[in-house]
Structure 1
Amino acid sequence: MADLEPVKTVNLDRVGYGTQTFPWSRARDQLAVRPERVAALSYFLGTVGPRGIPHAAGVGALWDDGDFYFTSGPGTRKSRNLEANPACTLAVRLTDLDVTLTGTARRVTEPAVLERIAAAYNELGWPAEVAGHAITAPFSAPSAGPPPWHLYRFVFTTAVGLGIMAPEGATLWRFDR
């Protein structure tokens, strides 16, 4: 999945500023770089509850082989929302782009994936361990609730990059996943 390429690229310059589309590599290469610690980048997850009420929350997202992973306590609003409706967004500010990805997040229970992602979180300074079909650690964000935490895989089908440094512009990428 690391070689994920868009099936469609759209220039979102609807007012005629003359901007060009960005190559997906501009976003992908920055998303794929593992920061030195898990909280080095601020990711924001957007979900919608069963009654249609939107919710946004910061998460410690981790890119792994073309998908993102994050944890969430089973009693949190974001976990309850994802249980009812897996459609969601993930947004992040990179060095020269604001990126918003749209897709679905589903709980992961496969032992091999849990172990791989827990090990990756450890490399970033969060002492995560697998506990049954979830992740545990001595600490997490206060809003995460008590351990253990569910692990989610976020698979995106669209991404929008908004240039915040030259060259500026806005590009939408669609993926066939």
Structure 2
Amino acid sequence: MTNTVNEPTSTTNLDHSGSAALDWSRPRDVLVADTPETDLTFFVSTVRPDGRPHSAGVGAIWVDNALYFVSGPGTRRARNLAANPACAVSVRLRGIDLVLEGDAHRVTDPSTLEQIAAVYRSGGWPASVEGDAFTAPYSAPSAGPAPWHLYRLTLHTAFGVATAAPYGASRWDFTAQ
């Protein structure tokens, strides 16, 4: 069962130097403040059908306690997610490196597509909804050609390593034990 409020069900201190566990609000608040206006590079790692990893940069945004990203249906990333939704998303935020693990599923709900397209537009990418996908005059080459599918990450686990004071490292679990 997934924790739908996106607050951790448990926190584990991974720091062995005596620093306290980090609070989930630290990376969450930076995600809220910095996406989509700040130029952040997110990397989505998926699993190929033969078990080998695949990773690619994506333009991701944090909206209403969830991470969203796009991919063209013909990309390796989208084909991998269609076969196995398990993935990890990595990003360097202000003061903390973050890895988010979970399952990414395609979003086709018209109201969610419109909401997320509006957020992307506010950050400078002129996305519009066409059918159950996005179009725009341009996107990152790694996204493949339009249309682009929208994915939402259902968060299971996150790891954070602070790169600024207060230092520390933590694991946050978001699923029922």
- For the aligned pair, the TM-score class normalised by the smaller chain equals over 0.9
Once residues 85 and 58 of structure 1 are traced to their aligned partners in structure 2, the CA distance between those partners, rounded to angstroms, is: 19
- The one-letter amino acid paired with 1:86 is P
- Comparing 3-12 with 20-29, greater Cα deviation is found at 3-12
Q: Per-residue deviation at 1:63?
A: 0.6
Residue 143 (1) aligns with residue 142 (2): yes
- Counting only pairs closer than 5 Å after superposition, residues 72-151 of structure 1 correspond to structure 2 as 72-151=71-150
Over 6 Å off, 4+ runs: none
Q: Distance in 2 between matches of 1:73 and 1:98?
A: 27
> 1:12 maps to what in 2?
14
Whether 1:167 and 2:166 are equivalent positions in the alignment is yes
Please list, as runs of the form range in 1=range in 2, the aligned pairs for 1:17-56 lying within 5 A after superposition: 17-35=17-35, 37=37, 40-56=39-55
SS in 1 for 2:29: helix
Q: Are residue 68 (structure 1) and residue 70 (structure 2) matched?
A: no
- Which amino acid in the other structure matches residue 56 of structure 2? A
Any gaps of 5 or more consecutive residues in structure 2?
none
| AA aligned opposite 2:10 | K
3-state SS in 2 of match to 1:125:
coil
Over aligned residues, Cα RMSD in angstroms?
1.7
State the AA in 1 paired with 2:86. A
- State the TM-score, normalized to the length of structure 1: 0.93
| Structure 1 residue identity aligned to 2:23 | P
User: How many residues align structurally?
Assistant: 174
Which secondary structure state, in structure 1, belongs to the residue aligned with residue 111 of structure 2?
Answer: helix
Contact 2:58 2:142 in 1 (8 A): no
Q: SS state of the match for residue 33, structure 1?
A: helix
Return the alpha-carbon distance in structure 1 between the equivalents of residues 6 and 77 of structure 2: 27
SS at match of 1:113: helix
Contact 1:2 1:65 in 2 (8 A): no
Deviation at 1:5, TM superposition (A): 1.8
- CA deviation after TM superposition for structure 1 residue 104, in Å: 0.6
Deviation at 1:4, TM superposition (A): 3.1
Letter in 1 for 2:72: G
Question: Which amino acid in 1 is paired with 2:31?
Answer: L
Identity of aligned residues (%): 53
Contact 2:57 2:142 (8 Å CA) reproduced? no
| Alignment check: 8 A CA contact 1:2 1:66 kept | no
